[in-house]
Amino acid sequence: MGQGKSQFTEEELQDYEDLTYFTKSEVLYAHQKFKELAPEKVGHNKNAKLPMAKILQYPELRVNPFRDRICKVFSSSNDGDCTFEDFLDMMSVFSQNAPKSVKAEHAFRIFDFDGDDMIGVSDLSEVVERLCGVELKLSESEIQALIQNVLQEADLDDDGALSFAEFEHIIDKSSDFSHSFRIRL
Amino acid sequence: MEDQVEDIELRPATVRRNLTIKNNVARQVAINFMPSRQAPYNTLRLRRVNSENNALLDAVASDTPDAANKQADIIVREMELHTHLMQNDPVSEELRREALRDLPQGLTMKRNVRAKLSASVSLHSKRRPISVLKRFQYRLSFAWKRTRERFRDLIFSIQLWYEPIRIIEGHLGTAVGSYFHLLRWLFSLNLLLSGLVVCFLVVPQVLHDHNNSTTTDLGWLDIISGKGGLEDSLLFYGHYHDGVINGSLPLSYNMPFAYFFTMFCIYVGFFLVFCYRTAYSYRRNFIETSGGLSNVFANKVFCGWDFGIVSAHAASLNAASLFNEFKELLSEKYKVKVKRSLCMKIFEYTVNTIVWVTVLGSMMALHYGVWALRAMTTRTTNWNLLVSLILTSVLAVCPLLFNFLVRLEFYRPRTSFYVTLARTWLLDITTLSLIFYYWAKSSTKCWETVLGQEAYRLVLLDSVVSLLLLPAVEFVRILIFKLNPKGTGPEFNIAYNSLTLIYNQALLWLGLLFSPLLAVAVTIKFFLLFYIKRVSVLRACRPARKVWRAAQTQTVLYMFVTLSLFTTLFGIGVLFLASTSDACGPFRQYVPVIAVIGEGVLGLSTHQTLNAIITFIIRPGVIGFLFVALCVSVYYMRAKSIAQRSMVDLLRQMLVLQAKDKDFLLTAIAKVSNGEWLYSPKPEENADSHTWRYLHEVRKPSNAGYHFDGSRLSHAFDRSDKPVRPRSERPQSVRTDGDTDSSFSWQGSSNYLNDLENRRMI
């Protein structure tokens, strides 16, 4: 897998292996994928910062309804532009080996659109709207009913919003989450 | 406790939400400083604490390198609280590494933290001399870890079909991908199996045959039926040598031992692997996620999107299916439930029973037919081939019939899916067992080889069906769809296809002992199957319109594979090991077959004491005792698990109550800090309330200055037998005025609320 003319030194790879859920060859494979997004730029500087539009060319992200949120959450400059390390971070969290709790943490941040550390009614309606896509729209009352049901199930302390603990509880009880919240490298 | 449960589950939605929603942010900040958040007990908690602190910090300042530095400092400080993380030894270094990896932060931050940590570790650690043994242990665990990482690295590099499966998942969703994962897994296991069989059985036998060579001629029909020239070949049990093989080298190879132990290791080893895999999958997908409320809505919202999708078409289908499911869920929820009448219920049960009886009856009729066909003595050449052909076609058609039959019944969709799966599997496994039993009890000379031939024929004929016929049908269907696009295109039938895999695997388990090279045949078949299915899936199938719960289905499929293996093991134990096999094969000298251990390896006839011990161990009494002991321990475990489950329920309720308590206290604190400490309790109304007790016991003048009051503590303990009592009085008030806090009668707070109302009116 291109071990020969790699852009990384052994120490860097070891470092990545220590800090992510990837092995060395997976890191290299991830870099290959990253490079495919902008061969010129990454060829010059292996840790180049790519604008969000470029990152969204990644096949799984291109069709994802939460694509901009994902980029923002993982971007180290908080504006959606990602360096290779941010990209690696993203892939590491979405990988099969990441534990459910880490995935839940990031899912929470992705779904928390207004960034108040709670998933409130507005966040939920945004999530539902994005899930249904551009063509199909649920009516306002349906969305509200849906949100009320979600809160009824998940909001244990009755404050009208999901805190992280409540969100994690839901995720913990879902067998499908680690299946669905996964992007293969 | 009962009504408490109801109170929690049926609490009126949204009653209090609007009141508290505005303070959320401020409250979250306050919560973060609560002792439970400040003193984390494990790394998992630690992660969250850090992120919360960081969220706080984020609000203060961001982007400046100084802020990042501060964040790192906070995280380091949190980690320093854990002494077990801060030791200067390999174990805590490993723990630190894991804690770092689990931090929900970017790589830069992690690096920053790591640098700070290693600086602080050398300061904090208590230096203790490490014993030689400990050092050796550390070194060993390090080496083990490295090897494991290397191994994972290697696995990734040689992982088969990585990209194809990814593409399939991207176009058709994770559910279809799970079929290919099953296929890949079975393929790699069978590859290993073939390797073992070839190394330990086939190669020595070839060497032996080489020494005393015989020539055979083959007709093309022989290749399909496994008869004629193939009968006495490497393919089948009967051909294998029953003595010591002496090669040209001065080494000898005992074929019966080799045959026995290779098979033993394969069957038992694979049984363990399958058991472990099934149990693991079951634990993850059923046990850990069971209990409590079924969060259908929340699950759909948060876990509905398949993040692995890459094609726009699949994405729009996923969105549409979610849209439909939301609608369905809502309409189901608000539909006026028509209570089914008793007559209706009886009718439904009767129909279900009738269908079950029909299915089981037809299965039995089928088995009788197979038996009769087998027992028929005809002059037709290739009668055996014909019977196998009939069997294969019946086994291929029946699942489709079952699929149709289940629509007549009254099950929920999920149950009906499992029912079909179970029926198909039952048909497969009973038919195979029947064949096994028939040949084992028939007086045919060398029935083992005949059974091997039967399995060989079935595998071969099934290849024709699944490699040629089914893909052809799929292509015809997509062709019809393309010509007439009004109907719906064919979806990939995951259940049917997975069951085909399981049937093949069951066939392999049955035939492996009597036809070792069957493993190679099935491996090749799976290999071809992968490529054919890939083409047919990508060309001729469309993504499923319903969101498929892949995780649990996969567990059920693994369970079926394991059960088939178990059935085969049982059959082998009863029908083969205890019988004699003196007509052919490697165990001719041993009566019964199991004597290969007793006589051959242990030499029981010469070792009297060992003989006595073993005779004692296998006495029915001892085995019965073991069995009873097993039952008792299972019962004990079960009782324990039930107890733990109810404990979990209890704890969950306590959590909910605690959350409410906290909510209440925080609201109170917020009011206090707003300068509304002007409340008057109503002792005459509720002398038991917290507020009242607080005023009279805690805030009495003697307690000024927060000194510790022992009596209060003991009093609290006295009441510990009914800790939730004050709470249980609250539901009334919730329903009457919609404010849980009102029973505490905060004058100030009601003033405050009135104030707010007035202001809003203005």
Residue B156 has its nearest CB partner, among A26, A135, A148, at A26
Name which of A78, A127, A132 is nearest B323 (Cβ-Cβ). Answer: A132
| pLDDT tens figures, A12-53 | 888 888 888 888 888 888 888 888 888 888 888 878 888 888
Whether residue A158 and residue B293 make contact (CB cut-off 8 A), yes or no, is: no
Residue B54 has pLDDT above 60, yes or no: no
Residue B297 Cα distances to B12, B33, B61, B322, angstroms: 17, 32, 37, 11
Burial degree of B215 (CB within 10 A; 0-12, 13-18, 19+): exposed
| Residue B332 backbone phi and psi in degrees, to 5 | -65, -40
- What confidence score (pLDDT) does residue B47 get? 43
Phi, psi of B100 (to 5 degrees): -65, -45
CA distances (Å), B138 to each of B98, B150, B247, B391, in order? 17, 18, 47, 59
Strand pairing report for B252-254 and B244-246 = antiparallel
Contact criterion met (CB < 8 Å) for A60 and B293: no
Instruction: Please tell me the predicted confidence (pLDDT) of residue B530.
Output: 92
pLDDT at residue B334 in the model = 77
**Signed CA dihedral, B560, B561, B562, B564: sign only:** positive
Of B55, B108, B297, the CB nearest to A76: B108
Amino acid symbol at B148: R
For testing contact with chain B, the best of A117, A130, A135 (most B CBs within 10 A): A117
Q: What is the CA radius of gyration of chain B?
A: 35
Q: Is B515 exposed, middle or buried (0-12, 13-18, 19+ CB in 10 A)?
A: buried
Comparing B221-230, B273-282, B311-320, B623-632, the range with the smallest average pLDDT is B221-230
The residue ranking higher by pLDDT, B227 or B304, is B304
Q: Determine the pLDDT at residue B732.
A: 40
Upstream peptide bond of B701 is cis (omega within 30 degrees of 0): no
What's the per-residue H, E or C state across B132-167? HHHHHHHHHHHHHHHHHHHHHHHHHHHCCCHHHHHH
Sign of the dihedral defined by the CA atoms of residues B703, B706, B711, B716, in that order: positive
| A149 to chain B, closest Cα gap in Å | 6
Work out the percent of chain B whose per-residue pLDDT is above 70. Answer: 73
At B18 the pLDDT is 36
Cα angle value B634/B639/B644 (rounded, 5°): 125
Query: If DSSP codes are grouped into helix, strand and coil, which group holds residue A115?
Result: coil
Residues of B in contact with A159 (CB under 8 A): 16-17, 20-21, 24, 27, 663
Least CB-CB distance to A94: which of B28, B307, B322?
A: B307
Residue B708 has pLDDT above 70, yes or no: no
Contact A184 B659 (CB under 8 A): no
Q: Which residues contact B91 (CB under 8 A, 6 or more apart)?
A: B138, B141
B242's CB contacts (< 8 A; 6+ apart) are B255, B256, B585, B586, B587, B588, B589
- Mapped onto helix, strand or coil, the DSSP state of residue B253 is strand
Read off the tokens for B146: 């490295």
Inter-chain residue contact B170 with A59, CB threshold 8 Å:
yes
Q: B284–A175: do the CB atoms touch at under 8 Å? A: yes
Residues in chain B closer than 8 A to A173 (CB atoms): 289, 291-292, 295
Gap between the Cα atoms of B294 and B302, Å rounded: 14
**CA A105, CA B269: separation in Å to the nearest integer?**
39
Q: Which residues in chain A have Cβ-Cβ distances shorter than 8 Å to B47?
A: 101-102, 105
Which amino acid is residue A172, in one-letter code?
D
B421 has a pLDDT exceeding 70: yes
Closest in B24, B166, B298 to A170, CB measured: B298
Residue of B nearest to A16 (CA): B107
> Which domains are assigned to chain A?
11-98 (1.10.238.10), 99-184 (1.10.238.10)
Given an 8 Å threshold on Cβ–Cβ distance, is B301 in contact with A128?
A: yes
Shortest Cα distance, chain A CAs vs residue B548, angstroms? 10
Of the residues B8, B29, B107, B284, the best mutation for testing chain A's interface (the one with the most A CB atoms within 10 Å of its CB) is B107
Residues of chain B with pLDDT > 90: what percent? 11
**Which residues from A are below 8 Å from B310, CB to CB?**
59-60, 62-63
What's the rounded Cα separation, in Å, for the pair B221 and B216? 14
Query: What are B305-329's pLDDT values in tens digits?
Result: 888 888 888 888 888 888 888 887 7
Tell me what pLDDT residue B488 has: 64
Confidence (pLDDT) at B213: 61
The confidence band for B361, taking pLDDT boundaries of 50, 70 and 90, is very high
Residues of A with Cβ-Cβ distance to B107 under 8 angstroms: 16, 19-20, 85-86, 88-89
Mean pLDDT of B121-126: 66
Give mean pLDDT, residues B484-488.
67
CA angle, B95 as apex, B94 and B97 as ends, to 5°? 65
What's the pLDDT at B527? Answer: 93
Whole-prediction pTM: 0.74
Give the C-alpha separation, B622 to B486, whole Å.
Answer: 68
Mean residue pLDDT across chain B: 75
- Distances in Å between the Cα of B265 and the Cα atoms of B258, B259, B688 are 10, 10, 69
Instruction: Give the DSSP H or E segment for B376.
Output: none
**If you average pLDDT over residues A139-167, what whole number do you get?**
83
How much is the average pLDDT of B107-126? 76
pLDDT for B761 beyond 70: no
Cβ distance of A1 and B157 shorter than 8 Å: yes
d(CA B574, CA B558): 24
In degrees, to the nearest 5, what angle opens at C-alpha B241 toward C-alphas B235 and B242? 135
User: At residue B304, what is the residue type?
Assistant: G
The span from the CA of A88 to the CA of A34, in Å, is 9
Highest mean pLDDT (candidates B76-80, B270-274, B711-715, B746-750) = B270-274
Q: Which residue has the higher pLDDT, B546 or B29?
A: B546
Q: How many contacts does A have with B, using Cβ atoms within 8 A?
A: 240
Reference B321, options B7, B33, B4, B548; nearest CA is: B548
Under DSSP, is residue B247 helix (H, G, I), strand (E, B) or coil?
coil
Nearest to A25 among B24, B156, B326 (CB): B156
Query: Using the beta-carbon criterion (under 8 Å), do B106 and A146 form an inter-chain contact?
Result: no
With beta carbons under 8 A apart, name residues in chain A contacting B659.
156-157
Question: Does the pLDDT value for residue B254 go beyond 50?
Answer: yes
Residue B34 clears pLDDT 60, i.e. is over it: no
- Across residues B529-551, what is the average pLDDT? 78
> Which residues of A are less than 8 Å from B285 in CB distance?
175
What token pair was written down for B642?
Answer: 């039930």
Average pLDDT over residues B456-478: 86
Q: Does B440 score more than 60 pLDDT?
A: yes
pLDDT higher than threshold 90 for residue B195: yes
Contact between chains at A170 and B166 (C-beta distance less than 8 A): no
- List Cα–Cα distances, A75 to A70, A111, A112, B353, B485, in angstroms: 8, 15, 15, 59, 44
Which chain B residues contact residue A175 at CB under 8 A? 284-286, 288-289, 549, 551-552
Q: What is the pLDDT of residues B597-646, one digit of tens each?
A: 777 777 777 778 888 888 888 888 999 999 999 999 999 999 998 999 89
The pLDDT tens digits for B636-680 are: 999 998 999 899 889 878 887 887 888 788 888 888 887 766 554
CB contact under 8 A, B297 and A164: no
More confident residue, B420 or A179: B420
For the cut 50, the answer to whether the pLDDT of residue B21 exceeds it is no
Measured in degrees and rounded to the nearest 5, phi and psi for residue B682 equal -115, 85
Q: Which of B44-58, B76-90, B409-423, B520-534 has the lowest mean pLDDT?
A: B44-58
CA A153 to centroid of chain Cα atoms = 24
Highest mean pLDDT among B127-131, B343-347, B652-656: B343-347
CB contact (8 A) between residue A117 and residue B25: yes
